[in-house]
Amino acid sequence: MSKPIIAVPADTRFFQNTTWHAAQQQYIGAALDVAGAMSFIIPALGDAQDIDAMLDRVDGVMITGSRSNVSPALYGKTPEERDGPFDPGRDATTLPMIRRAIERGLPLLCICRGIQELNVALGGTLVSEVQELDGRIDHRQPPEGDRDALFVIRQPVHIGEGSCLAGILGAGEVQVNSLHRQAISDVAPGLAVEAIAPDGTVEAVSVIDAKNFAVGVQWHPEYWARTDDTSRKLFEAFGEAVRASQAARTAP
């Protein structure tokens, strides 16, 4: 059987005096090498493209991290300059894609910005500058260093007993990396909290009563998926779900 295919929504980037639609190598590389899935990069064109026609042709969806943030206008707040940068084309693509993937029962893995998009897509809200809130720690990336130093595994999170992630990673404490300044505030009604940081920040969620694997994590498992046990297991579980989805899609 050929490798399954996942949809990966692109970021909008502007350089060389033109607009590009791009996805980072670290995500599509981890999907290929660890989950065993090829990626179709989906342009950030919003409702100019047919989401259902695209989902008809894939076996899963991965929503990646990005330097941009979800616009607060999408969860009832007035955007401020410090909340950015924004990527309205990506927002217009990922939010309906997430909702349709869940409705159709496609495997869904949402990473960093992706968990925030998942929460907003299902009716939740976000908070910016987590490190400025009383009692919270600084979840932003280290101030300097090479990419390995920026993505270093340095923060504990607690996975709840009986959760979806507990079945993959085990319940209790695991170590992850942390590179975010925005996080979930009000959890969407359709989501269950799977893991929290020591300061109470939501670090992972799952879709309640999902027809398939549907998980979001605030950390970056893609960066260490080949070498870190926690990161690898998450991508392997996604890969298993995607292969099962492929088998169902291609069955006579």
Max distance between CA atoms of the chain, in angstroms, equals 57
Whether 112 is catalytic: yes
44, 87 contact by CB (below 8 A):
yes
DSSP 34: I
Whether 222 is catalytic: yes
Helices (H) and strands (E) in the chain, counts: 7, 13
Whether 180 is catalytic: no
Look at residue 11 and give its three-state secondary structure. Answer: strand
Catalytic-labelled residue, pool 21, 110, 222, 236 = 222
Catalytic-labelled residue, pool 112, 117, 180, 194 = 112
Distances (CA, A) of 173 to 35, 96, 133, 160: 23, 33, 23, 9
Catalytic-labelled residue, pool 81, 203, 220, 240 = 220
Question: What DSSP letter does each residue of 83-104 carry, written as one string?
Answer: G--B-HHHHHHHHHHHHHHHHH
| Residues noted as catalytic | 112, 220, 222
